[in-house]
Amino acid sequence: MLENSPASGRWCGKLTTARGRRSVALVTCKTREEAEARREFIAEQLNRLAHRGRRDFGEKVLELASRAELGRLERVRRGVDVILAGNFEAPQSDASVVPNVGPTFHEFAEG
């Protein structure tokens, strides 16, 4: 499903991910045809991931594909190919795993 905001002239696509139904801005699409083609491309990539049990990458693919310039979509497709081939690092699901790269804000403010 596509939506166009008359006030902004931007297109949004509604897609289903592992987290449910999402509306995402298709920021590089200027026409209905471009937006429909992009929505179909994204849906195809999400379906490929879902059929192979890799929904954990769906949100990132959705984010990248919705914002990519037309010439970069093949790169997104190749990225999904790599994931499906098993040549990837799994996304970290533990939000507490943060690299120690310097002082905390609190430490910085007191220093």
Asked whether residue 65 is domain-assigned, the answer is yes
For residue 71, is it within any domain?
yes
pLDDT at 65: 94
Residue 93 covered by a domain: no
Residue 110 lies in a domain: no
CB atoms within 10 A of CB 45: 24
pLDDT of residue 6: 58
The amino acid occupying position 102 is G
Is residue 96 in a domain?
Answer: no
77: in domain: yes
Domain total of the chain? 1
Along the chain (111 residues), what's the average pLDDT of each consecutive run of 10 residues? 65 81 88 92 95 92 92 94 84 54 63 60
Q: Could you tell me if residue 101 is inside a domain?
A: no
Question: Strand pairing partners for 15?
Answer: 22
Q: Which residues of 83-105 are buried (b: 16+ CB within 10 A; e: fewer)?
A: bbeeeeeeeeeeeeeeeeeeeee
pLDDT at 33: 92
Look up the domain containing 67 and give its range: 2-88
Q: Residue 15's pLDDT is what? A: 82
Q: Evaluate whether residue 36 is within a structural domain.
A: yes
